[in-house]
A and B are shown apart, each in its own frame.
Chain A
Amino acid sequence: MTEAALLPLAVAVPLLGAALLALAGRILPRTGCDILATGCAGAEVVCLVLLWTHSGGRLATADLGGWPARLGIVLAADPIGAGLALLVAVLVLAVVVYAWRYFDEPTGEHAGAFPALILLFEAGMAGFALTGDLFNAFVFFELMGAAAYALTGYHIEDPRPLHGALTFGIVTSFAAYCSLLGIGLLYARTGELNLARLGGQLAAHHTDVLTVAAFVLIATALLVKAAAVPFHFWLPDAHAVAPTPVCMLMSGAMVELGVYGIARVYWTVFSGPGGIPHQAFRTTFTALGLLTALLGALMCWQQRHLKRLLAFSTVSHVGLFLVSVALLTSDGVVGTAVYVAAHGLVKAALFALSGVLLDRFGSVDEHGLHGRGRELRTVGVLFLAGALALAGLPPFGTGLGKALGEDAAGHWQPWLPAVFVAASAVTGAAVLRAALRIFWGAGPVPRNRPGEEETTGEGEEPEIRSPRRTLPPTMTVVPAALLALAALVGALPDVAAALARGAAVFTDPAGYTAAVLTQPDAPPGPVPAADWTATGVLLGLLSAGIAVALAGTAVHREIPARRSRHPAARAVRALRRQHSGHLGDYLAWLALGVAVVCVAIAVQI
């Protein structure tokens, strides 16, 4: 099959699968729905693997409906976009297999509802990664959004999922409308919606307030999706309450699509003359990324609710991705690409393992579960491996991605690698600490501190109805497979080399325009290096070492019963109070964030 046929199929297969499941779910029994869903998810993986191998490091395009790119809508896949869609497809397949025996689904009419929503979610994400049209990107953004809101609020018996889903839905939709205003402004200026042609048209104008406003408004929705501080508040709330298989997808792929969107829109549309100067983008988004990485790591360390802890670790890692992307070099892009792929796999595995705890004990509370996971030794070992991978231990792909990102960032500012080490070490240490307490019962049992502003993670609804059943084998096989894949991403040089070729294509807007408008193509720029270096390995070992030391100290230290009056402890409490769960507060922070980014870019042009 040709690329022109594979590209639309990559969006159509999950969409058709979702429609089929919604209908067939009324007739088929539970097993039938599972087989159908697994078949669709498998077909999507095959389709994207074919697309990945066929395109061979170039940009593949498909003109939809036979309209040429200057009139119609195009799909365009370079190795980075296709690779991200492939990551989504792999995670969806893992989630569908993991969820075979996970839910006690409502039988009868709605047996197919959950897998159908998952496939709809997949269609939105794949479409967003593969589209070459700005307005279509908005539509796919809303499609994945709507599916994600419904999936977050799937357990309607408990008020918290409804609360999380409503906050998530309202904040993201508001940001999406800001984005649409930005798209409208850009259309008013250029009369184009095609990413490749937009960049060309913008070159005929000067950068002014309208350009800045359009860029910041478009970036708003993407920053909310990427959960950059201060747009991140919805993420821990949604992750704490969403069913575990949904968390695997949201943390593993959806959030990273926000970073991808920012990079894609900037490189294709705003990187040329008449856009946003490189220096302004670099300083603003590096600052945002740094704030996100550090605040995410700090908040991650404070959590005892396991899913919330993992959610904040995602926030922290997104900060690192933003920093690497904001460097605007192909080295930074290849680092992010490898990091995103491996982080998605590791994070999905960690969420899957917390799902086992939820299944066994009906709780994800680090303190309440102290020592109760002793008999789940396999799960504990896998959890430990995931925590070390998160900290960047070689040979996991997270370590390679971190090393490449550190190298690229160090070329611009020599102190930036320290932030990479700190953020990955602290988030890894928080997960390690939880693993040591839950699965090995290490250290004293932490005392409860009533009156603390926190979500404990006790009294969760078990996501199955019969806690006495044996553990389904898929619930440990899937996370083990995901961790093995994450190690392969780091250990097989071919993966990183392919992504490096992709990064050279990604950072070449002229080549993108030429390929979409089928003009004669110039070869892309130099392919960045994507191998392990001695420094990279050492920094990875250093992060993992710091993580082990931090976690070891934390579990053996007695937690004081009374509140500390130390200024640092007060500052942390004040910070935690800002994560109030109130919709109004979150939107006020969003408005503040938009204003600050707008001013920061405007003063630099």
Chain B
Amino acid sequence: MGTWVFLAAGWVLLIALYGLVTSRNLIHAIGCLAVAQSSTYLLLLAVGYRRDATAPIYSDLTPGTRPVVDPVVQALALTDVVVGATVTALLLALTIQLRKRHHTVDPQALTGLKG
């Protein structure tokens, strides 16, 4: 593991960036944003990972008997999922309105704002 996971997270972020920069469809762009977010899940979970460790749930586990993975990063990843869901839903709602009223989902067809 080690460095590889960090590099993988960076790679996922860069793929998402490439997708966003070249996107011709807003649904695709919002999907790319979700890919960018999965790079954060990958990094956060890798930070807390321990080989041969179990989930940090102490209802059926005596504390100190077995190594457990870091619960803090899991809480962070969970919060991150909630934040991401909110933002994705909001952006998709805006895209739906754009399609309904203006019959386009191509970000490059939007030219009302420039200069």
Contacts and interface: CB of A to CB of B under 8 A. Distances in A.
* Co-complex (A, B): yes
A234 B22 CA distance: 17
Main SS at interface, chain B = helix
A240 B17 CA distance: 26
Nearest to A590: B17
Interface in B3-34: 6, 9, 13, 16-17, 20-23, 26, 29-30, 33
Contacts of B101: 156-157, 159
A156 B114 CA distance: 19
Contacts of B20: 170, 174, 583-584, 587
B115 A170 contact: no
Given A177-B39, A184-B43, A170 B90 contact: no
A180 B40 contact: yes
A580 interface: yes
Contacts of A452: 115
B33 A237 contact: no
Contact of A164 (B72, B91, B113): B113
Given A174-B36, A184-B43, A162 B98 contact: yes
A600 interface: no
Contacts of A591: 17, 21
B102 interface: yes
A166 B43 contact: no
B113 A241 contact: yes
Contacts of A193: 72
A581 B114 contact: yes
A325 interface: no
A150 B112 CA distance: 19
Contact of A181 (B39, B83, B86, B94): B39
Interface string B60-92: 000000000000110010011001001100110
B83 A455 contact: no
A187 interface: yes
A208 interface: no
B113 A173 contact: no
B82 to A, nearest CB: 9
Contact of A159 (B40, B83, B112, B114): B112
Interface stretch (A141-149, A350-358, A413-421, A527-535): A141-149
B86 A146 contact: yes
A344 B11 CA distance: 40
A187 B73 contact: yes
A455 B112 contact: yes
Contacts of A579: 114-115
A1 interface: no
B48 to A, nearest CB: 9
A492 B94 CA distance: 45
A589 to B, nearest CB: 10
A177 B40 contact: yes
8 contacts: A156-B94, A156-B101, A162-B94, A170-B33, A185-B43, A187-B76, A454-B115, A581-B111
Given A163-B113, A187-B47, 16 more contacts: A139-B83, A145-B87, A146-B86, A149-B91, A163-B112, A184-B44, A240-B113, A241-B113, A303-B115, A577-B114, A577-B115, A581-B111, A584-B107, A584-B108, A587-B17, A588-B21
A453 interface: yes
Contacts of B76: 135, 183-184, 187
B36 A177 contact: yes
A584 B76 CA distance: 29
Interface in A512-568: none
A162 B26 CA distance: 12
Interface of A: 135, 139, 142, 145-146, 149-150, 153, 156-157, 159-160, 162-167, 169-170, 173-174, 177-178, 180-181, 183-185, 187-188, 193, 236-237, 240-241, 302-303, 452-455, 576-577, 579-585, 587-588, 591
Given A173-B33, A174-B33, A177-B36, A166 B47 contact: no
Contacts of A587: 17, 20-21
B36 to A, nearest CB: 5
Contacts of B73: 184, 187
- 4 nearest CB pairs, A to B: A454-B115, A581-B113, A160-B112, A163-B110
A183 B72 CA distance: 13
Nearest to A175: B36
Contacts of A174: 16-17, 20, 33, 36
Contacts of B72: 187, 193
A166 B107 contact: yes
Contacts of B16: 174
Contact of A581 (B83, B102, B112): B112
A178 B33 CA distance: 11
Nearest to B10: A181
B97 interface: yes
A174 B31 CA distance: 12
Contact of A146 (B40, B47, B90): B90
B114 to A, nearest CB: 5
A583 B23 contact: yes
A588 B21 CA distance: 6
Contacts of B33: 170, 173-174, 177
B94 A178 contact: no
A40 to B, nearest CB: 22
B115 A455 contact: yes
Nearest to A591: B17
A314 B109 CA distance: 28
Contacts of A183: 76
Nearest to B115: A454
Residue among B16, B21, B23, B114 facing the most chain A CB atoms (10 A cut-off): B114
A454 B115 CA distance: 4
B95 to A, nearest CB: 7
A587 B23 CA distance: 11
A323 B99 CA distance: 43
A139 B43 contact: no
A479 to B, nearest CB: 26
Nearest to B91: A169
A578 B101 CA distance: 28
Residue among A173, A184, A187, A193 facing the most chain B CB atoms (10 A cut-off): A184
Given A174-B33, A177-B40, A142 B87 contact: yes
B84 to A, nearest CB: 8
A374 to B, nearest CB: 28
B22 A584 contact: yes
Contact of B113 (A177, A185, A455, A577): A455
B107 to A, nearest CB: 5
A123 to B, nearest CB: 14
